[in-house]
C-alpha cells in the first residue's frame, strides 16, 4: 500500500493493517542508497509475498530459515508461476 511519506512511498501491512517494520526498514535503506521508488515498490511486493508465506506457515521473520526459502521457491515451480495465489501455494505446502 502507499506509504506515509516520500521517504517511504510503499509499506507492507499485516492482516491487522499494521506496518511490517522489518520490511519498512529494508525499503528505507534501499531508498537511502538512491534506488528508484519503483524498484522499492517491486521489492515491497516481493516482501509481501514472502511475509504472506511466513504468516501462513506460522514462522516469524527472524526465525525463517533456508527451509522456508526452499519451500517458497519450490512452491512457485510446482505451481508454474512466480506470482501465483499464495494461499493455494501454502495449502499445497502444508498438505491441504
For every residue of 16-39, DSSP letters joined together read TS-B-HHHHHHHHHHHHTT--HHH
Tell me the sheet residues that pair with 2: 10
Query: What local confidence, expressed as pLDDT, does residue 94 receive?
Result: 46
The whole-number mean pLDDT for each consecutive block of 10 residues of the chain, a chain of 96 residues, reads 69 82 86 84 85 84 83 65 51 45
Please name the residue that has the C-alpha cell 511490517: 20
* pTM of the predicted model over 0.85: no
DSSP assignment letter at 62:
G
Write down the pLDDT at residue 75: 65
pLDDT of residue 93: 46
Amino acid at each position: 500500500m502507499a506509504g506515509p511519506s516520500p521517504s517511504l512511498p510503499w509499506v507492507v501491512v499485516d492482516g491487522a493493517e499494521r506496518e511490517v517494520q522489518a520490511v519498512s526498514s529494508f525499503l528505507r535503506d534501499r531508498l537511502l542508497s538512491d534506488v528508484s521508488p519503483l524498484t522499492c515498490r517491486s521489492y515491497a511486493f516481493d516482501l509481501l509475498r514472502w511475509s504472506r508465506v511466513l504468516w501462513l506457515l506460522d514462522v516469524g521473520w527472524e526465525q525463517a530459515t533456508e527451509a522456508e526459502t526452499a519451500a517458497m521457491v519450490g512452491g512457485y515451480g510446482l505451481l508454474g508461476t512466480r506470482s501465483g495465489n499464495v494461499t493455494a501455494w501454502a495449502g499445497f505446502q502444508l498438505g491441504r
